[in-house]
Each structure stands twice: as C-alpha cells, then as structure tokens.
A and B are shown apart, each in its own frame.
Chain A
C-alpha cells in the first residue's frame, strides 16, 4: 500500500523510517528528505492563514513511481508517506486515513514515559503497527 512511512522530528531529523522495499530504501530516504522542502514551504504559507488548522498537507510532490504525501502535527512532527503511484485504487481519503492512524500510533508511542522527545522511535510495538499500516491491513 505504502512504500515508505517516515516520522521526522521538529528539527527535520528522522525519528523513524520504514520502507517496504529494502533495496530502494536509500532512494526513498532521499525522496523523504527532499519532501521536507515542500513541507516547510507549505507550513510557512500556512502561517499567515488562520484556517490552516489542517494537519494534512496533501500531496507534496510526485515522481514517476511515487507520490509523496505529508502531514504535520501541531508539535511540528512531520509524517511523510510514499505511495506507489501506479496504485490508482488508492484514494486520497485512504491516504488521510493512513495519516490519522499514524498520528495515533505516534501519539501512543510518545506517551511512553521512557521515551525522550526528539530521540529515535525504536519501539517494537510501534514498528509492528507501522509495518502493518504500510502493508495496508490495519
């Protein structure tokens, strides 16, 4: 369903990154990194508009094979999801659902009192849940 799900900290450092395809991980990471440009762009524009309460940023950019979607939480944690662009069955609503679920998973993960904000997310439970989310069977 999704190629890659990434959680990026507020300093733009990756907190978590999972890819469904290990061979293309590097390529996907580059994409995710570049997507931060667009996230920043959208967030800056959003500053002026009061109605920019929407956390979902929509499609950030696309390549021949990938569509990259973004989401930014109120605490400036970014979620980036890379989708296979040939999968036309995947509607934007489903992407939104992925983000919603991811947001919940993230919130649950950082509620762990042993987690220091800003550190990498290495919880197995979180990882399992995200992998599940990525494969599309939530």
Chain B
C-alpha cells in the first residue's frame, strides 16, 4: 500500500505532465520546516507526493464528511504557460476563476497557480513588458495570498536558468502541502471526534471508525510523527477493549459479530512482516478473527515503537496485550481449541523476545526487566502445552494427544516469509549479535518443533527456564529467579535427575529461610527431601527429614511421617557414615531449625570458684513432633574478650537492663604529667553494631557457618527431649579462671550435630566468672582480758589450696602470752591447772580439704601486769601457714582484769598505806591479800579484818586494804628515801574458783615521814561573829629534823568567807633555824555566817633570792603531802550573825 500525499493539477495537463516527474522527484530531496499549530514543536519533514488529475469526487466526499485524510488531495495546482496578457485576459483568467470558485465551494483553500514561463529571449530582448501575466494573476487572485501564485522558467527549455526558480517552486509546494496538512489534520481530527461521539448509534461500525483513525495514524507516520501515530493506535486499542469488556453483551454493537469468528488459526504476532498492510486489507475485505485483529494492532504499535527506538516498551506492553486479549476472547466466548491460546501466547512472547534479543544492550537493564517475565511466561506456556500433549518427562503422547499436536501445529501457522535481513537493515538500531550463527528459527517453527517430540520439548523447556532464570538474575530479581528455579527443579525431578534439581531447591530454600517465609520454605523442604531420597543421599535426606518434622506449618501427619523417616534414616547413618562430624562432611545442621534456645541460666552462686562444678540450666524448645533422645548436648563457652575496664562497666550496665544494649565505654584523657584531665563516657561505633536488633532481622541459614571451640563445655548426655519446652541441666567443671561467655550449643544425635548459629538472648549471651579463692587464716576474738584464760578462735578457710596430709599451722606468741588448744567442755571443769599453755603452738590441720572452712577454738593467757596501767596490753600472734611463705602477724590487745593503786595517809606521825583494788571488765574473786617489805626497819601492820571468804569484785567495784607502816625513826628518810612495798593478792575466776593466780603489784613509798606539823587556832575561841575581827594563830612545829630552814606560809581562804586583815598578812616567810616551833598571828574576819571552814594554810619550802647571782629571785617549792601534817585541817568555825546594832 502506497501512502503518498496527493496533489491535483488542472489547467494545462500536458505541460504539467512534462514537469510532473521532475517535481515529484524533487520533493523528497530536501526537508521542509513544518510550523505546526497549537504551539506544537516545529519539525523538519521530508515529504513525498503523488499527482492526480483534478476531479470533483474527493471534494464531494470531503464536503459530505465522508473523506479520508489518506485519500484527500492535499494541494490543487493550476498550471498555465500563458505569457501573453491578452490571452490571459481572454481565456485563462476565466478558467482560473471557475477553478477557484469550484474549490472554494467545497471549502478548500489549498491551491496554487503555477505559471510556466517559456519566454522567448529573442522576442523580449529589448522590450521589457510593462506588466507580466504573473503580475496580472497575482493582482486578480492572489490579493491576500500572492505566495500561491508562482512562476517558473520551463526547465525543459532553460536548463541552466531554470534551476533557481524550480527550487523555489518545489520549496513552495512543500510549504503549501504542510500548511494544508495543518488545516486538514485539524479538520480530520474533528471529524474523528464527531464520529466517535456516535459510537453508540445503531449503524456505527467500529471497523469504519478504525480505518478512519488509522488513516490519521498513517499520515502521522508518514509525516515522521510516530509517537502521534502511536497515540491513535493506543486510542483505538483502548476503545476496542472497552467495547468488548463493557458493552460486549449489548445487542447494539452489530459490528462485533465480525470479530466473533472461531479461532481456527492462532498465528502469533510477527514483527518482521514484509507487507505490513496485508492484514489491513484483510480486515477491510474479508474480516478477521479477534486474535488476528489484535495481532495487527499490536504489530502496528510495535512497529511504531521500534521506529521510536523504544524496544523495551514493546516488551513492557506485551504481557498486558496478551492478558487483555485472553480476557477479550473469554468475554466474547470464542470457541477455540484447547491449547490454542497457549500456542498464541508462546509465539507472541518468543517473537518479542527475539526482537529484544537483537536490540538489547547488555547493560540496559530496563529491557531485561520486561523480558524476564516474558521468558517465564513462554516457559509456563510451553509447560502447559507439554502437559496437554503428553510431552512431559515420563509421559508418552497418546494418539489423541498426537492428534492435538497436529491440530495445534496447523493452527500456529507458518511464519510469514522471512525477509528479516532486509527488515533489519531498514532498522539501524537492530543488529545481529553473531552474524555467523545460523538464523534462528521463527517462534512458530520453534514451537512446532518442540511439540514434535519429548526430547525437543525438554530441550526447549530447559532452555527457556534457564533463560528466564538468568534474565531474572541479571535484573537482580532473585526471588523471581528462584521461583523459576523451583519449576525447573520440579522438571528435573520429573526427568529423574534429582541431583540437578537439588541446587535450585537449596537456592530457593536459602532465600525463603533468610526472609522467614516458613510456609514456602517447608514446601521446598518437602521437594528437597524427595530429591535426596531419589539420589540416595542418606545424610542430606536425614537432615531434611529432621527439618521437615520441625516445620510447624506442615500438617502433623506429614511431620510425624518424616519424623519416623528421620529416626529410621538416622539409625542407618551410623553404619553408612564413618567420618567424624565436620563442616566438610556436612554432618552439621542448624540448631535453630529444630530447637529453640529460650534461656540460659547459670545456677551456681557467684562467684564461681575454680574447679567448682558449673551447673547451667538451659530452657530449650524442641520443635519435633514427638519425644526425641539426644546423645549429647554441649554448650561451649569462651573467654569474654574485653578489657577489665569494659567488664567493669558492663557489670554496671547489666544491672540496668536498658543500658546493656549500648556499648558504653569509659574514656580517660590524661595530661602530660599523667594526671587526669577529663573523663567521659562514650558510646562508639553504633553503626557497626546496631544497638537495636530485631529478632526478625536474624537471617537464617541452611547450614551452620562456624563451629566454636568446644574445649570448655557444660554438657549432658542421653536425655530425652519432649516436644515443647524442656529444662535441661548441663554440667561441667570450671577449670580455668576468667570471665566466660556462652558461645554455641551443640546437640549430637548419632552422627548428626546440631549447631546453633547464635545464642538468641536479649543482647548478649550470659557470662559468668570463674575465679580462684585463696586460702586464709584469721583469728577471731572478742575483748580479751589479761590474766585469765581467754577463748580465741582460729578460722582457717581452705580456698582452692590443696593441703598436704601433714599440714599444720604454727602460732607464735609474743612475750608473756601463752596459747593452747581449747579443752573440751568436760575437761575444762576437771582441769585445775594452766597446763598446756605454750608460747608456740603447732596446730595440725588434719585431713583438711580444699574449700573447707574450719574454726579451731584456742585459749590464750597472758600475765596480769603488776604495774598499775590502764592502757591495753599489746601482744601479737604470728601465724605460719602452709600456703604462704610469709608469716602473718596478728596484733592482740588485752585489757587488765583489775588495777591496784596505793595511797599514803598521815595521822600525826603515824603513816598508813591504803591499797585500792578496782575491778574492771572481769568478775574475779580475791583473797589472801598481803604486803611485803623486805627493807629492815620497816614494818607493815595488817589492819584488815581477817576473812575466810574470797571477795568478789567486778566492774566499778573497789576493794580497799589498809596497812600501817612503821619505819624506825633513825632510818627514816635519810637512809631510806624509797621504801618498796610489794602487794600480792590471789585471784580466781568464778568459773574456775579452784585455780588461784597471783596478782602482784609493787609500790614505791617516798617522803613517808612527817617533817612539820601545822596548827591553827581562832580567837576568841569557837565563837565568831560576822564581820568581827578574830585572831588566827598559826603554829608551825618541827617534828623531825630536816634541812628546810625557810618556810613560807600562805593563808588560802575563800574570798567570800574570810577576809585577812592587814596588807600582805596572808603570807609570810618564817625561819625555822634553831627553833622547833614558830607562831604567827593574823587578823581575819568572817564574811559569812554559818559553819565556815578554817582558812587553810599552805606551807612551802622557801629559797630566798639574791644570795648568789644565779638566783636573783626567791623561789617557793611545795612539800610532798606526807611531810606536812595539818592537824586542824578541815576544822569548822561557827560564825554567828553580828550584833543587831552593827547592821
């Protein structure tokens, strides 16, 4: 079919014919700028044209609105060669006028008047005509559009000169044609619209409408506007679909009957037709089936897309086209043979794929993205056909099925004659990938071949499936690729080649498990189990059976069946497998598929001591449908790799649950002198370790990837696990010190090992610490009291030290401290002695085991110190322990049980010794108090009552003993300045009243003889009145010879009670030289009434100053209390109130 714009000619026909060929050839030689209406972009268009003699008939149709833009003349040319104005006026003007009137009567303004000048140069050589014919024509007709009147030199006559004018002519023709198109297309589109409005009228025919709009599309195509052409086809496509799906059952649409012919033939589309419009003619003339019509529409669309170089779009549209056509077939209820549509789909798919294959760049993903599902579709359709025709593996086609094949093959039809090479050359964007490859069979041929025999079918199916998978993979649609793999795997299974299928199934399984599609993955497991059984791979079969029996999604019957299979197979594995479990031997299974670890808890109390038994409780959920016996269950732990600083922090963090998710560390910055500059808490690298990790994000794997180090384990053997939650206790020995963390659980069943991927506990698996405990010894005692037996305990804790059988602890006491092992309670009562107290005690540790704690009772005794000391007695005990080379010194403090003090009392010249025993913390019995003095001439007289019963003293109770001391006068003082007196008393504890111990205390007596005696007397005697001056007589008497000559006296009185009269009368110095007695008289006045104490008098030694240079000042020394005896001390004077008159 030729599509060329039509140009009509009128006027001088022979003249135009002579120019015709030249003009038509010239038009396509150059492009012309096409200024389009409605601001559509301008375009350079290369035009073609054909000529017709002017006739009224198309104009009639145009006026009636029954025209096609394809057949409508686009430009009308009037040709004349009249050079003579007179002739023009006579005839030509009339002719043109009537022609133009005719045109305008049809509403056509696309005309052109062509004046061909055949100018005779000789004639007009000298004479230029005043007006030419052209001017005249322009004047007459081209008043508004003089560009429609053009003259040209007849190229036949003026070959050289005419070129320029001819070029102008052609250019003008092109321009006018395009102007005409602008107008006509707008008009035609209006016509189409009005036609479309009538689509629900009874006599409306879609086919008519179709051709009408298609004509427009063809014109657009001609005018190099394929996209606009495509729009027309798309509109038609949509309109057709709408008719069928929405108004398909409407009786009005009589024209639908045309498309309702049975599908005897089901040719696929062909994108390489030689005669593109063959089908158009057929539609117009004979009518076509729906499928054929659809094919034609798609082919046209595809062709236009190809022109736009949008091959991916073809692929994109294909599936929609196929599916919607299928639906349409269904809607109109077309009869067709079973499998016919599959054949059609297959051929269409393959046709498009072949086109894409030629056109695609490997890096251009979009096309592949659309192709992948098409490959898959082709594969599926082929499978359907194979199923229908008995071509699947393991089937042989019955005669009936062979009949179907024959019928289908005839329906597929032959591919139209291949002119592919020409077609390809016409399309520069297409290229043949490998020119040497033998030309590929057409889609129809391939299908026919595949339906021919089982082998060819299988070959094509496998090819298509592989192509689908690889294309899907190429566009990284892995899931889809795996799904195709599933089909392919099943096919291989049917082919009895399970080893080829296994790969596809495991790939799919991995993908599904990784994303937790349990239901699908369990289905895949079933397929796998089937494969492995066929292959006889008992190990893999066992593992798969085990996995299947743990799939909660499957029915319990299936699960128990496979559980039994698993147990059966597991038994046989023992005999068939000799290799040890290892990653290479693939004896490992993922534990998480079969068990779920819920919790791990260390039952030991913290901290765990080295060599202790570790006890771990595992909460484990078994997913098996029945009870299963596990040979061995091991949980390994590894050293927790983190420095001390971090663990310290982590321990803090573990306490607060929320904080444990973040890995927080301490950061310290030091100055140059190593002092702390700045401390901060950082939470680093949150990207590498996401703090929040959801459970669903854990990818599940097919086989465990790592095996942890199982040297440190807690384990148990031979235990039965019930379905559901089990509590399992695992035991182990804590051999090495450190902080440990659980790493992996391993469950062994026969030769299978189930390894956990990770321990799925909140943030990190629980950790525990194993440490050693040093042996230690310590003394335990309360307040200790010196002088009596005191209990004390030696605590020995064994720790992790291993004791030799003859181990002993040596206790060495400091001086005066003795120790012994405590006697048993019955012995205590019996023993009357302090026997057994030693300074050094060797204590055997008999059969002492590690971690034993022993408390050994001991008794210590220290001497009561004789000296009067209130301070504690400090002692120490040194321990020599078998586990340590260095001695351990433990200080012990004792408090005295009682204390003794002594005082010297004077009565005139008599001297008395008072010993005061003061009870302290202990309760004691005292008896047989004695004083001894070994000095000759000193006699001590016991003044105490003789008593038989011991005296008991206790805290804050004092006991006083009194003795008179008589010293021979001669020896007094001068010869014996110090008299040593020894006081001894026996004491016992009430608990052991039979054991009497001695308590001795030595006292030194000095200044024990009286030197002076003081006497004071108040006159008038005995009775004093207030504020009446009395006389105080002081008498100092020397009793014993002494070297003190000058004495100083002082009256020390209360200022409120007594007033001494006279200046400095209250003190004075007296000399006792050569006199034995001295009397002083003073005036005193009582200031208060009542019994007043006599003013006390102090006597001191006086050394006068100024006698030598060293002593410039006088000095006063007090006497020790024993040397001056004041006989009137503490005498009281009764003062009565003075006479009333005085007051």
Contacts and interface: CB of A to CB of B under 8 A. Distances in A.
B385 to A, nearest CB: 14
Given A13-B517, A62-B323, A37 B694 contact: no
B369 A41 contact: yes
Contact of B516 (A13, A36, A63): A13
Given A11-B694, A34-B480, A86 B327 contact: yes
Interface stretch (A25-33, A96-104, A107-115, A122-130): A25-33
B245 interface: yes
Interface in B687-706: 694-697
A43 to B, nearest CB: 13
B373 A61 contact: yes
Given A26-B520, A61-B373, A9 B696 contact: yes
Given A11-B694, A34-B483, A37-B477, A88 B327 contact: yes
A118 B696 contact: yes
A36 B694 contact: no
Given A62-B320, A86-B327, A117 B694 contact: yes
A62 B369 CA distance: 13
A13 B369 CA distance: 24
Contact of A30 (B373, B515, B520): B520
Contacts of A37: 472, 476-480
B520 A29 contact: yes
Interface in A32-52: 33-34, 36-38, 41
Contacts of B523: 26
Q: Which residue among A30, A61, A86 has the maximum number of chain B CB atoms within 10 Å of its CB? A: A30
B415 interface: no
A41 B474 CA distance: 13
Interface in A1-41: 9, 11-14, 25-26, 29-30, 33-34, 36-38, 41
Contacts of B369: 41
A19 B266 CA distance: 35
Interface in B465-505: 472, 475-480, 483, 486
A119 interface: yes
Given A13-B517, A33-B520, A41-B477, A118 B327 contact: no
Given A34-B480, A61-B373, A11 B697 contact: yes
Interface in B584-621: none
A118 B694 contact: yes
B323 to A, nearest CB: 6
A72 to B, nearest CB: 16
A14 B696 contact: no
Contacts of B373: 61
Contact of A11 (B472, B478, B515): B515
Interface string A53-73: 000000001111000000000
A62 B317 CA distance: 12
B479 A34 contact: yes
Nearest to B514: A12
A13 B478 contact: no
A85 interface: yes
A14 B517 CA distance: 6
Contacts of B320: 62
B278 interface: no
Nearest to B477: A37
Contacts of A34: 477, 479-480, 483
A37 B476 CA distance: 8
Interface residues of B, number: 30
Q: Which residue among B327, B330, B480, B697 has the maximum number of chain A CB atoms within 10 Å of its CB? A: B480
Contacts of A12: 515
A41 B320 CA distance: 20
B477 A29 contact: no
Given A37-B478, A41-B369, A62-B319, A29 B517 contact: yes
Q: Which residue among B327, B369, B477 has the maximum number of chain A CB atoms within 10 Å of its CB? A: B477
A58 B517 CA distance: 24
A115 to B, nearest CB: 13
Interface in B499-532: 512, 515-517, 519-520, 523
Contacts of B330: 86
A33 B326 contact: no
A11 B479 contact: no
Contacts of A85: 323, 327
B237 to A, nearest CB: 15
A33 B479 contact: yes
B460 to A, nearest CB: 20
Contacts of A62: 319-320, 323
A33 B475 CA distance: 16
Interface string B294-332: 000000000000000000000000011001001100100
Contact of B695 (A38, A86, A118): A118
B239 to A, nearest CB: 15
Interface in B224-249: 245-246
Contacts of A26: 519-520, 523
A98 B519 CA distance: 25
A118 B477 CA distance: 24
A9 B519 CA distance: 16
A13 B483 contact: no
Contacts of A33: 479, 483, 512, 515, 517, 520
Interface string A72-103: 00000000000001101000000000000000
Contacts of B478: 37
Contacts of B476: 37, 41
B520 A36 contact: no
A14 B516 contact: yes
B516 A38 contact: no
Contacts of B246: 88
A117 B1047 CA distance: 108
Contacts of A36: 479, 515
Contacts of A86: 327, 330
A105 B483 CA distance: 31
Contact of B696 (A13, A30, A61, A63): A13
Interface in B365-414: 369, 373
Interface in B627-663: none
Q: Which residue among A63, A64, A118 has the maximum number of chain B CB atoms within 10 Å of its CB? A: A64
A95 B302 CA distance: 29
Contacts of A9: 696
Contacts of A61: 319, 373
Interface string B441-480: 0000000000000000000000000000000100111111
25 contacts: A11-B516, A11-B694, A11-B697, A12-B515, A13-B696, A29-B520, A30-B483, A33-B517, A34-B477, A34-B479, A34-B483, A37-B477, A37-B479, A38-B477, A41-B476, A61-B319, A62-B320, A62-B323, A64-B326, A85-B327, A86-B327, A117-B694, A118-B694, A118-B697, A119-B695
Interface of A: 9, 11-14, 25-26, 29-30, 33-34, 36-38, 41, 61-64, 85-86, 88, 117-119
Given A11-B696, A34-B483, 13 more contacts: A11-B697, A12-B515, A13-B696, A14-B517, A26-B519, A26-B523, A33-B515, A37-B472, A62-B319, A88-B246, A88-B327, A118-B694, A118-B697
Interface of B: 245-246, 319-320, 323, 326-327, 330, 369, 373, 472, 475-480, 483, 486, 512, 515-517, 519-520, 523, 694-697
The 6 closest A-B pairs by CB, nearest first: A13-B516, A37-B477, A118-B696, A118-B694, A12-B515, A34-B480
